[in-house]
Each structure stands twice: as structure tokens, then as C-alpha cells.
Amino acid sequence: MKSTESVGRHKPRIAVIGGGTGLAVMLRGLKQLPVDITAIVTVADDGGSSGRIRTDLRMPPPGDIRNVMVALADTEPVLERVFQYRFQNGNGLAGHNLGNLIMAALKDITGDFTHAIQEMSRVLAIRGRVLPSTDQEVVLGAEMTDGSLVVGESSIPKSGKKIRRVFLRPEDAHPLEEALEAIDQADGIVVGPGSLFTSILPNLLVKGVADAIRSARGRKIYICNVMTQGGETDDYTAADHLAAIHEHVGDRFFDVAIVNNELPPPSIQRQYAVEGATTVLPDIDRMKEYGCEVLAGNFLQYRSVLRHDAARLSRCIVELIGKGSLSP
């Protein structure tokens, strides 16, 4: 592990691993701080506009990558709105996201998905770097507790069954070399927040990624979700999230886990209960059994939807990397 002194000689390098809305929210806070960010993002999505582009053009789905780039962008608000615009009408266009289509065009122009991300990152003037965990076309599958298999990221939460494990096809999908280098050079490696089985684990299952994290010198930090997800982590506690990761990649994977310990107001809990979501309870003693320190605090922010307080969470991450403190 790198010393505090070595971290202090440069802007802390942070590799953030995940996908989905939770990761994008956190990155909006993290980019405001003096850190060097590399976001390593899942490409297992097969639903919506991304899934259609993936099927039609035989390329990795751009949706999670697009959301992360927008979160890190330092550009005019109108350009962000255009990049996130979703067509409502038109045969073939309805449901498509314009940013996804632009990414598909850039992939054709450059001949390479990773190069397309680099070009779009320059257009959006992002603060940091965005990389796919693999540039191969991968499919996410799940084995359910009844022994049945469900194939396709978007199909897994809809199955109505409890997940035992998830897997990638091909199993030997190779990681992006730049992603492994970012992990190796990072002062801190942050996993989450995001959908446990469909955003976080698909990255860790890419061959070599989990091993690179385990052997890296940077501090490994897990950000636990604030709410469960219906059809995916029903009734999961914070320790259950850790247990699922360890069952896929091995024990004692993280140095620190950050968990929310504040209950949202009853009215918000009722709102989420309609979607089958409940508050992730912080069973801290059990979390410590997985070999990590636990930082618990109020990380909630509510603005029509419940999210992590990105500013507070980001400050804690940087503090943990730079000082090793567990002050919330």
C-alpha cells in the first residue's frame, strides 16, 4: 500500500469501477476535487438504446460509458442535453439516445470503441479518463438459486428469481490494458456504487481485473448502495453485498467499506417500497467479518430520487486515500 507521503506528492490517482446511475452521481462530486480520475465502466448492458446498437452494429453497448462521460464533462449545458437526448418519435429512432448514436458513429469512424471514447471525451472536455473494462462484446448471465440460467443483463432482474451467481460469456474476455495500468497506478481503487450483479460484478469478472485490484498497492474502497434493487438484491443488507462480491472474486478484497447508516423519511421509504426497494441496513459487525474497516455515516441526499450525497462521499474517499482516516 502506498504511504500517505507518496500520495501527497501528486494529485491522488483514483480508479473508479462500476456503471449505472450510482457511479455517475458519485463522479459528479469527485470531479470537483483535486484528483486524477479514471473510470472503468461495464459494457455488459443489453437493454434499451444500448442493446439495440449492440445487436445491430456488433459493438460494445455505449450507454453506461455515455453516462459516465456526461458526469465528468466540463462543457456547455446545452451540449450535455443534446448528448443525453432520447428520441420519442420516428421509425427506428424512437427510444434511441443521441449520445449512443454519436458513439456508434465515432466507433465506425475511428474503427475502435476505445478510440471513440477518447475522441468523445475530448469533445465533452471531461475531467479524467473513461475506459471500458473490456473492449470485447460480452454477455452477462446468471445462475439462479433454483439452478436455472438467465442470459442477458436486462433479463436478470426481470426473472423473478433469486440470483446465486453471475458470469460472463466469453469467460476469458480480456481486460483493457489501460484499465489494468490505471488500477496498478492508483492511490485508491473505488468499487461502486451501482447495481451489484449487473454493474459492479461484470467488471470484476473480466479476466485479470479482480487479480489486478487485489495486487494493487492503492487502498481498496467499496461504496455500498443505499437502497436494494427489486429483482436483484431484495432484502440484502450491506454485509450481503460484500458476501456476494467475495463469493465471486475471493475473500478479503476491500480495505474499507463505506455504508450509509441513516434511514430516509417514511414517505420516501413508502415511495421506494412500490418499486420493491428497501433501505440497505448497515450490519456493521458482520461487515467487519469480511476483513475490512467500515465507515458508516449519513450519506443520503434526496432530490426527487434518493442518491448518495456526492460531495460528502467524495470528500470521504479522498480523505481515506490521503490520510487513512475513518472520520465520516
The one-letter amino acid code at 222 reads Y
Entry pTM: 0.92
Q: At CA 224, angle to CA 218 and CA 229, rounded to 5?
A: 145
pLDDT digits over 82-113, tens only? 999 999 988 888 889 999 999 999 999 999 99
254 in Cβ contact with 191 (< 8 Å) = yes
Residues of the chain with pLDDT > 70, as a percent, come to 95
pLDDT digits over 264-315, tens only? 999 999 999 999 999 999 999 999 999 999 999 999 999 889 999 999 999 9
241 in Cβ contact with 233 (< 8 Å) = yes
In angstroms, the CA 299 to CA 140 distance is 30
Q: How far apart are the first and last CA of the chain?
A: 22
pLDDT digits over 149-207, tens only? 999 999 999 999 999 999 999 999 999 999 999 999 999 999 999 999 999 999 999 99
CA 290 to chain centre: 21
In angstroms, the CA 144 to CA 238 distance is 21
Q: Domains plus CATH for the chain?
A: 4-42+133-323 (3.40.50.10680), 46-127 (no CATH)
Q: Which residue has the higher pLDDT, 5 or 20?
A: 20
DSSP state letter for 97? B
Phi and psi based region of residue 111 (left: phi greater than 0; alpha: psi -120 to 50; beta: remaining): left
